[in-house]
Amino acid sequence: MSFLAATATPTDDASGVLIGLLFITLLLVTLGYALGCWLWPFGACRKCHGSGKRRSPFGRAFGLCRRCGGDGRRLRIGRRVINALREVHSKADR
């Protein structure tokens, strides 16, 4: 029994380190993404790919993209989260 216990301990430690590394990596990626969303809050609109135009299937006519209203920009999901958190924070201050 003591033999089994001795072999089980190192593998437990190894998986613990692995989970720790995974957690740190995930944390760094999340922080990097959050920083990116803070510095560059906008992404190109997925519908019009940043052009802001809605192409007509015939001719050269175009209208404004309905999704972004001709802006060609969309607020990134991470930035929306930051804005939401900020709103909660400012409400708590009052």
Binding stretches for Zn ion (CB under 5 A): 45, 47-48, 65, 67-68
Least distance (Å) from Zn ion to the CB of residue 73? Answer: 8
Least distance (Å) from Zn ion to the CB of residue 88? Answer: 29
Least distance (Å) from Zn ion to the CB of residue 87? Answer: 25
User: Measured between alpha carbons, how far is 36 from 43 in angstroms, rounded to an integer?
Assistant: 11
Tell me whether residue 37 or residue 45 sits nearer to Zn ion (CB atom): 45
Residue 36: closest CA among 92, 86, 81, 87:
81
